[in-house]
Copies of this chain bind each other. A is one copy, B any other.
């Protein structure tokens, strides 16, 4: 790899002159010399040594992206289109701004933060990392941080968050379900924290507004670990018969549930209506096509990246940036079955 020093030597001039041409400094180099140097640079295909440059300038032009790894059967599923799209949006945005992306997939916040400090990354995007532990670790970190889909009240004092109005999205969907005539509507998820809690809350609000009472048993908890998923689905399918519609916290769970119901001869939407949340290909390719709440995941990545770039430049941003959702009506929510008909076949 050719260095500035070597170039300067071959052209019989100083390194500063060469450096000035590289950095396009106006009025420091004569037209003639500028031309000579530029020609030489192009000819030898000069690329700067980034370590030297960063060392001299004390920056890295790297943005760290940390994703929480999951360890259940659905690891791949959860890493599903959501992560691909998100990363795609982030990568595109930061690359266009001259930054690069360092990807971490881990559950160890502390370790990641250590790496991030080591590499002197200019900023950080966190997805699914911020439990209370993560917050404690990352508040020590001095560079800008943008979180995605974080609901921690404590966290939001310290960080910028890019998220969704999950509550409203679910509220509108459940309202729509109710408008189709349903009264017995369950909610399915695997936890009651963060995003899932917000969506649950929206569901409850819609029920309340329609004068439908929520009972604890209306929350159908799926246990996605590989050794529990089957038993879990078995139980949910049995309990599903008490309802005419189920609001699922994600498209993945909606499709998983539909498959399980289908396997037991219960038809969607004839026997039971199902709604999802996310609007990814899982639901759009399934038949019946899933009625769901749309979110623009790629945009989430783009906005998170743009926000981080602003913070790096020293600009201020809102602490909370909320992207819109949209109802996508397809085929899995219709009017409720007559109580005697489950759609068995």
Contacts and interface: CB of A to CB of B under 8 A. Distances in A.
Contacts of A102: 62, 100-103
Contact of A84 (B80, B119, B120): B80
Contact of A282 (B50, B105, B262, B281): B281
A157 interface: no
Given A51-B51, A92-B105, A104-B95, A258 B287 contact: yes
A55 interface: yes
A263 interface: yes
Interface string A98-114: 00111111100000001
Contacts of A87: 87, 103, 105
Which of A51, A76, A91, A92 is most buried by chain B, counting CB atoms within 10 A of its CB?
A51
A180 interface: no
Contact of A298 (B52, B76, B119): B76
Contacts of A50: 51, 118-120
Contacts of A262: 287
Contacts of A60: 51
A226 interface: no
A192 to B, nearest CB: 24
Contact of A55 (B55, B80, B91, B103): B55
A286 B75 CA distance: 18
A28 B193 CA distance: 52
B287 A263 contact: yes
Interface in A220-267: 255-256, 258-259, 262-263
Nearest to A64: B100
Contacts of A95: 104-106
Contacts of A118: 47-48, 50
A103 B185 CA distance: 43
Contact of A287 (B80, B117, B119, B259): B259
Given A51-B55, A52-B55, A83 B84 contact: yes
Contacts of A119: 50, 100
Nearest to A116: B47
Interface in A179-234: none
B101 A285 contact: no
A77 B282 contact: no
A343 interface: no
11 contacts: A48-B118, A49-B55, A75-B88, A79-B84, A80-B281, A83-B84, A91-B105, A100-B119, A255-B285, A258-B287, A262-B287
Given A83-B84, A263-B287, 19 more contacts: A1-B117, A1-B120, A48-B118, A76-B281, A77-B281, A79-B81, A80-B80, A81-B81, A84-B84, A87-B103, A88-B105, A95-B104, A95-B105, A95-B106, A100-B104, A255-B285, A259-B285, A259-B287, A262-B287
